[in-house]
Chains A and B, each alone.
Chain A
Amino acid sequence: MNLRTASETLSFIRELEEKAAAFYEGLAKRFPEKKSDFLTFANENRKYNKQIQMAYQSVITDAIEGCYAFDLETDDYAFTTDLAESAGLTEAAAKALAIEEKILACYTLGAEQSGSLLADVPRNFKIVVRKRNDRLEKLKSLA
């Protein structure tokens, strides 16, 4: 499915972040020794959702110029959160890294495409990408 409007792109990103947050909550239950890290990731995902939504709704140009700002294919960013029962922390971290890569790719291309038209949404996409770098390092150390 092709995403063109800011509204549908943000809904799609919200789904990705929520799906990843649920995945991290599952990992927190499965790996109590890393519970704090995984729950932090889940909370951050939901915080990013609020941050992006606020950027979209509070800046006039992001709302009125949003219908032609994107050209993203949802299939490029689809991911599954299935993890084998026998999977250990290493596999879980590798899976999380793969999910993060998809989400980051979506934010990065989205920011690039909408940069000339919108004011705050692409800027906030870039902020989210930057903020996620610490998480990537943590996951890499586990994988």
Chain B
Amino acid sequence: MDATIPGLMTSFFGNAGQRCLAGQTLIIVGENDAFYKDFMEKVTDRAKNIVVGYGLDESVQMGPVRDAKKKESILNYIETGIKEGATLRLDGRKAKEIKGGYPDTCFLGPTIMENVERQMRVVRKEIFGPTMGVMRVKTLDEAIEICNESPYHNGHAIFTSNGKCARQFQYDCISGNVGINIGIVAPMAFFPFSGMAGSFLGILHTQGKEAIRFFTESKVCIHRWL
């Protein structure tokens, strides 16, 4: 658990959630209520202590969102989530403190929403902000089913100490980038960066051999010497 939580923080709240591989929905598998309670307390405690402020200050963990319009869009998603039945466990609609005393025009705090359901807009749309929607399921099969029914398939990650679960997730989850105990599934440059379904446009991915294919043309030379 101690190793997982920093990974979740960077996944959901790193870059203020504004990166294509940022986490948005956290699915907790199992029916152990005590585990859930303890885990969520630790996650919330860590998230609420995130230092928000000017992104080039070395001690700041979360910078601003892109602009005021983006902030408004994220706030709308949070409001929609609440209307659709989610409950706010951590309200980041107003950052509790902005290091450096900057105006809050583009700043948000980390938000955690519980009781999120698979049909909600906060699950099915890309928020691209510092929000974490939490849902609970009984089995890994169910969790994978939720991942696969999403219109977007850029990155999915599992945090587990169980090799069987990791392997099942790796094979069954439809995703361009699969992480096992990795929050941000960013491949090294020699591997393709591979979104799938709604997270992909074209026929070739960036990076790796596919990038070389994208930027080059094939040339065939057939020889016969008499």
Interface residues of A (CB under 8 A from B): 3-5, 7-8, 11, 60-61, 64-69, 116-117
| A68-B10 in contact given A4-B51, A61-B186 (Cβ < 8 Å) | yes
Q: Are A60 and B14 in contact (CB under 8 A)?
A: no
Chain A CB within 8 A of B109 CB = no
What are 10 A-B pairs at a CB distance below 8 A?
Answer: A5-B58, A5-B60, A5-B61, A8-B58, A60-B188, A64-B19, A65-B184, A68-B14, A68-B50, A117-B10
Closest A-chain residue to B11, C-beta based? A65
| A11-B58 in contact given A4-B51, A64-B186, A65-B184 (Cβ < 8 Å) | yes
Across the interface, which residues of A come within 8 angstroms of B51, CB to CB? 4
Chain A CB within 8 A of B183 CB = yes
Q: Closest approach, in angstroms, between the C-beta of A99 and any C-beta of chain B?
A: 24
Q: Are A4 and B61 in contact (CB under 8 A)?
A: yes
Across the interface, which residues of B come within 8 angstroms of A65, CB to CB? 7, 10, 14, 183-184
Complex formed: what's the CA distance from A7 to B58 in Å? 6
> What total count of A-B pairs have CB within 8 Å?
52
Q: Besides A67-B62, A68-B10, 12 other CB < 8 A contacts?
A: A4-B61, A5-B58, A61-B184, A64-B186, A65-B7, A65-B10, A65-B183, A68-B46, A69-B10, A116-B3, A116-B6, A116-B7
Interface residues of B (CB under 8 A from A): 3, 6-7, 9-10, 14-15, 19, 46, 50-51, 58-62, 181-184, 186, 188
Across the interface, which residues of A come within 8 angstroms of B10, CB to CB? 64-69, 117
Q: Are A68 and B3 in contact (CB under 8 A)?
A: no
Across the interface, which residues of B come within 8 angstroms of A4, CB to CB? 51, 59, 61
Complex formed: what's the CA distance from A68 to B110 in Å? 14
| Residue among B10, B60, B62 with most chain A CB within 10 A | B10
Q: Are A64 and B184 in contact (CB under 8 A)?
A: yes
Closest A-chain residue to B4, C-beta based? A116
Q: Are B58 and A68 in contact (CB under 8 A)?
A: no
Q: Closest approach, in angstroms, between the C-beta of B184 and any C-beta of chain A?
A: 6
Q: Closest approach, in angstroms, between the C-beta of B13 and any C-beta of chain A?
A: 8
Closest 10 CB pairs of A and B: A116-B3, A8-B58, A68-B9, A7-B58, A67-B61, A68-B6, A65-B10, A68-B10, A8-B59, A117-B6
Closest A-chain residue to B47, C-beta based? A68
User: Which residue from B61, B186, B188 sits with its C-beta under 8 Å from A68?
Assistant: B61
Across the interface, which residues of A come within 8 angstroms of B9, CB to CB? 67-68
Across the interface, which residues of A come within 8 angstroms of B14, CB to CB? 64-65, 67-68
Across the interface, which residues of A come within 8 angstroms of B186, CB to CB? 60-61, 64
Complex formed: what's the CA distance from A68 to B12 in Å? 11
